[in-house]
Amino acid sequence: MLEPSDKVDNKMKSRKIRLLLWAGCLGAAIYFGGDMLCYGGWGSGQFSSTERMVHVALWRLHLCSITAPIGTGFYLLGALGLWFCCRRAALHLAALMIASLFIDFLFGGLWHGMGGPLGIAIQYCGLDSGAIGEIRKLMGISRNVCGYSGIIGYGIWIFLTLKKKSGLPRWAIIFCPLITLWLRALMVHVPAPIGLPLAGGWGNISHMVWFAVLALTYKDELPTGSVE
């Protein structure tokens, strides 16, 4: 049975964890804002981001790239919150999870930050320039790295949540980006005016919702026991 001082300590830790999770939600919102600066607007879900960047003001492309390191910092705080959720019950798996998610968010930030240079290259060099091809190659590498590392990190989190080792309800896994990102295939069919922001920013919308759900549902009592 917990002593009163232990209960107070747990509540303080829970507040800090929730703040970290809300930071992850804020990071996703900042990324979403960057996406909309780069190619966003009102329109159908079936759109070409490349064609839209031809007409985007340069100041929007500059701000898009600036949102990358800021949003990444908050994303990393969110990953730290996930680690705090799981570390007591599964220390080693939690370490692998946060390492994978850090790689995911860092390379995702690199990919996000190249949106501005890509748009500038499109406007100054034309759609068929070699510079655009090289930027897209680097973006593709970054996206692959963050994609595969994300699968590992989210997969571990789902496993720990199903084992009741994350301090979160099992049903929260339905909001995990590993599952909800697949819904983007439906977002492209959403008509104007909300189709474009939904389809264009779905990756970050899914992270916003996920981190918000985690922050709202995290339990005060930290899980005990171990799965390792």
The two tokens of residue 142 are 């970054």
pLDDT tens by residue, the chain, 228 residues? 444 444 544 665 889 999 999 999 999 999 999 999 999 989 999 988 988 999 999 999 999 999 999 999 999 999 999 999 999 899 999 999 999 999 999 999 999 999 999 999 999 998 889 999 999 999 999 999 999 999 999 999 999 999 999 999 999 999 999 999 999 999 999 999 999 999 999 999 999 999 999 999 998 655 555 555
Q: What is the pLDDT of residue 137?
A: 96
Q: What is the pLDDT of residue 13?
A: 85
Q: Residue 185 and residue 24: Cα distance in Å, rounded? A: 24
Q: What is the pLDDT of residue 4?
A: 46
Q: What is the pLDDT of residue 10?
A: 64
Which residue is it, tokens 């994609």?
147
Q: What is the pLDDT of residue 5?
A: 41
- pTM for this entry: 0.91
Q: Residue 228 and residue 226: Cα distance in Å, rounded? A: 6
Instruction: Tell me how many degrees the CA angle 190-195-201 measures, rounded to the nearest 5.
Output: 125
Q: What is the pLDDT of residue 127?
A: 87
Q: Residue 90 and residue 163: Cα distance in Å, rounded? A: 10
Domain boundaries, the chain: 16-217
